[in-house]
A and B are shown apart, each in its own frame.
Chain A
Amino acid sequence: MSKLLKHRDIRLKQRYRAEAFFRSCGLFAISLGVFFLLVLLYSVFSQGVSAFWQTSLTLSVKLDAKIIDPEGRRANDPQIICIADYPRLLRNALAEELGVSLDDLVSLREVSRMFSFGAGSQLRDLVVKNPQLIGTSQKLTFLAASHVDSVFKGQVNLSVSETKRKLSNKQLEWMKKLAYEGILHKTFNFGFFIFSASSRPEMSGLGVALIGSFYMMFIVLLCSLPIGVAAAVYLEEYAGRNRFTDLIEVNINNLAAVPSIIFGLLGLVVFIHFLGLPRSSSLVGGLVLTLMTFPTIIIATRSALRAVSPSIRLAALGLGASKTQTVFQHVIPLAIPGILTGTILGLAHALGETAPLLLIGMVAFVANYPVSPMDPATAVPVQIYMWANEAERAFVERTFCAIIVLLMFLALMNIAAVLLRNRFERRF
């Protein structure tokens, strides 16, 4: 007996070898994926993290009444404080710090190029709010110009001749001096999350894009979840199996695979030209993304419904529940984790979409904050795309920083999907 067993060929060696081979293949595939992910994350983070800090100047600025209100009429005409020459105040303060004479107009011009245009508006807002400050000296922190920022972060090749650079040798000298004295320093870039799009890199941010993305996600959630779940419940629980429902099923699966730009074309024709909804608005964007998301939700919901054990259904029906009671009180509550996961993944997909927004006018420069979903807006991926095409160096880090923000949002949504599934999942 034992002899027989010994001689039976069960190909043990080959089988072990096959397993080892398959395991190493799998491991290789995973490590390849992880490697490319790490390369991607490294390239994004290494180029983008610097945009979380922005170069600023902290300086004591004299709010000279002679410059703000040369004729002393501000008590009668409040408009004077609004239109005063605030950049000049900043320029004079900086010139004094650098030891530049106020008669040297050429150097003064170079001094004014060191700080951001937005600094003037910042000072104006301060003075308009607190007019009693006029005549005093205030310690202020304001943004440096984007060229100063790029040089300060070491993103500019300084070995080339002066004429090929945006900053002159004199300005570089000044920068060194200011940095040494602690006047030029980096602060956390809150503006990146608040400011709207701008042609000036240091004053541009994700503000409008974040609001637009938020509106669109809200609209997608409100429209596609009820419609998608209703369609899936009907198809799965009520509709009979015939050629017609088969056709619908094939079409839904097809729809999930349609290139997203086609939904954009549909949106342009139906929502903008036929229904007359406003172009570039987050409402139209949200509706287009709804169309794109809801096949995903239908498919996820149907598979979640199918996964509910038939014994639950049969038990409910056996105890005298109607079909509708069975579905709404027993089947759907059990399918919720699957529905939620599918919805969140669909939303995450919609959040990262740019192509359909191109055709409905959302790939655009929008500087006013959208008050309602009817106002023009952009979205975060759109802002990334637009910054990637800018010529100025300071937009490069902003592009990658916006990618980091988008990745964070996607990661949060995916984590939420996992948490919700674990929380609501019921085992029997």
Chain B
Amino acid sequence: MRGRRFFFIAYLFIFFMRIEIACARDQIQISGSSTIFPYAKIVAEAFGEAYHSYKIPVIETGGSGAGFQEFCRGIGSNTIDIVNASRPIKPGERQSCFQNGVKDIREFRIGYDGIIFSTNINGPDWNLRSEDIYNALGAYVVMNGHLQANFIKSWNEINPHLPPWAITVYVPGEKHGTREVFEEKLMLDGCHTSGAFDALKASGLDDKAVDVACRSLRKDGKAVEIDSDYSETFSRLVSNKTSMGILSLAYYENNADRLKVASINAIVPSEVTISEGRYLLSRPLFFYVKGAHLSMIPGLKEYIEFFLSDQMIGPDGPLVAYGLVPASDNERELQRTLLKKK
């Protein structure tokens, strides 16, 4: 009986001792956007193969916003070092970072990502204009010269060249960086070209209210918001053969045997059209690093150098093979010089 009691106490002691030896971290910790996650994973793995003395970084996913929240919690070994973001940091986030002591934030661009409209592989070829998409998805549209709530049911009502499919579009939910780019680049553009902008303005709204109205999507179930990742949109596109969904170019390229991509304003999205800037819906991808951690976490500087090197983000690198649209030579060189600057 006494022996058993001794073991019990010894076990508790050892257990709590282990907690006490929480030492300084020797592994890079990354969080953020799920769009950049596959790229970061490829780099982390190659980093582990190239530098045997460093551990492979731990990469979490949870979206750009959640990533910045963790990033801005402070400095120290129990906070993350890098946040991956599919959009630039917002002023509010920068401010909350500053208040918590994260003052030196370095921004790096890794390349570009295309946002595409896609249908099932068996669908017809689509050529959408910005105003078609706005008229299909916007909350307020101009019909027969009047501004009214959107009750358009099928695509050929908008434009006789489009197929007679009922409108069903899977749009990323509001927490996604993709959604913001879609609103910024496509909905606002379509709002102008379809005439809804002027009509909204004429109805007496101020600039801010017009902007909000242009961005808002119809709420009658034709624009389906998908809060989880692209894989849900993908499985819905495969099962619902007359629907359309928004995906990233990389996701499409990995599943091109089951999906068809729509051209927007007569431009087919591809690495070429995006890097030339002709395709409307593209965005830069970023990661942000805490300057204070560069000297604190072993391998962090090497990891960033490795990420920004041409063997990773260059046109022949593995990230481009996965679906990243590479930045131009000058731009990549600029990112590398950013790291050297103090």
- Residues in A lying within 8 Å of B, measured CB to CB: 121, 156-158, 160, 164-166, 197-200, 222, 272-273, 275-280, 283, 358, 361, 363-368, 372-374, 376, 386, 388-393
| 27 A-B pairs in the complex with CB atoms less than 8 angstroms apart | A121-B49, A156-B257, A157-B257, A164-B257, A198-B41, A222-B11, A222-B15, A273-B78, A277-B19, A277-B22, A279-B80, A280-B29, A280-B58, A283-B19, A361-B70, A363-B60, A363-B61, A365-B60, A366-B56, A367-B56, A373-B18, A374-B18, A376-B58, A389-B61, A391-B231, A391-B254, A393-B254
Cβ distance B194 to chain A, nearest Cβ, rounded Å: 32
The reply to whether A365 and B18 contact each other, CB–CB distance below 8 Å, is no
Identify which of B30-38, B138-146, B184-192, B295-303 touches chain A: B30-38
* B61 in contact with A386 (CB, 8 Å): yes
By the criterion CB–CB under 8 Å, are A391 and B230 in contact? yes
Report yes or no: A278 in contact with B15, Cβ–Cβ below 8 A. no
Instruction: Tell me, yes or no, whether B55 is within 8 Å of chain A by CB.
Output: yes
Q: Distance (Å) between the CB of B114 and the closest chain A CB?
A: 14
Min C-beta distance of A289 to chain B, whole Å: 16
- Max count, chain A CB within 10 A of own CB: residue among B45, B48, B59: B45
How many residues does chain B have at the interface if contact means C-beta atoms less than 8 Å apart? Answer: 44
Q: Are B231 and A276 in contact (CB under 8 A)?
A: no
Q: How far is the CA of A276 from the CA of B74 in the complex (A)?
A: 13
Give CA–CA (A280, B78) in the complex, Å.
10
Q: Which residues of B have CB within 8 Å of A165?
A: 256-257
Interface residue? B265 (CB, 8 A): no
Q: Give chain B residues whose Cβ lies under 8 Å from the Cβ of A160.
A: 121, 256-257
In the complex, A279 Cα to B11 Cα: how many Å? 24
A7 → B minimal CB distance (Å): 63
Pick from B25, B29, B231: contact of A389, CB under 8 Å: B231
Contacting residues, chain A, for B55 (C-beta < 8 A): 368
Residue of B nearest to A203 (CB): B45
**Would you give the shortest CB distance from A86 to chain B, in whole angstroms?**
12
CA distance A17 to B320 in the complex (A): 71
Which of chain B's residues have a CB closer than 8 A to the CB of A277? 19, 22, 78
Shortest distance between the CB of B226 and any CB in chain A (Å): 12
Q: Across chains A and B, which 7 residue pairs bring their CB atoms closest together, nearest first?
A: A164-B256, A391-B254, A367-B56, A364-B60, A365-B59, A157-B257, A389-B229
Instruction: Report the Cα distance A276→B76, complex, angstroms.
Output: 10
A-B contact count (CB 8 A): 104
Chain B window 7-43, contacts with chain A (Cβ cutoff 8 Å), 1 for yes, 0 for no: 0000100010011011001010101001001101110
Chain B 62-102 against A: per-residue CB contact (8 Å), 1 yes, 0 no?
10000000100100001010000000000000000000000
- Minimal Cβ-Cβ distance residue in B for A165: B257
Q: Which of A198, A358, A390, A393 lies in contact with B45, CB distance below 8 A?
A: A198
Measured between alpha carbons, how far is A142 from B303 in the docked complex, in Å? 30
Task: Tell me the complex Cα distance, A275–B18, Å.
Answer: 13
By the criterion CB–CB under 8 Å, are A157 and B121 in contact? yes
Most chain B Cβ neighbours within 10 Å, of A157, A361, A374:
A361
Contacts of A389 in B (CB 8 A): 34, 61, 228-231
Interface centre among A199, A222, A278, A390 (most CB of B within 10 A): A199
- B148 at the A interface (CB under 8 A): no
Give complex CA distance A277, B77 in Å: 10
Given the complex, which residues of A lie within 8 Å of B41, measured CB to CB?
A: 197-199, 365
- Give the residues in chain A near B264, CB-CB below 8 Å: none
Q: How far is the CB of B323 from chain A (nearest CB, A)?
A: 8
B281 at the interface (CB under 8 A from A): no
Q: Does B258 contact A (CB under 8 A)?
A: yes
- Bound together, the chains give a CA A388 to CA B258 distance in angstroms of 17
Distance in Å: Cβ of B65 to nearest Cβ of chain A: 14
Tell me if B250 counts as interface (CB < 8 A to partner A): yes
| Beta-carbon contact of A365 and B78 below 8 Å | no
| B313 touches A (CB below 8 Å) | no
Bound form: Cα–Cα A54–B132 in Å: 46
The CB with the most chain A CB atoms within 10 A, among B29, B42, B73, B257, is that of B257
B44 on interface, CB distance cutoff 8 Å:
yes
- Kindly provide the distance from the CB of A139 to the nearest chain B CB, expressed in whole angstroms: 26
* Smallest CB separation, A397 vs chain B (Å): 14
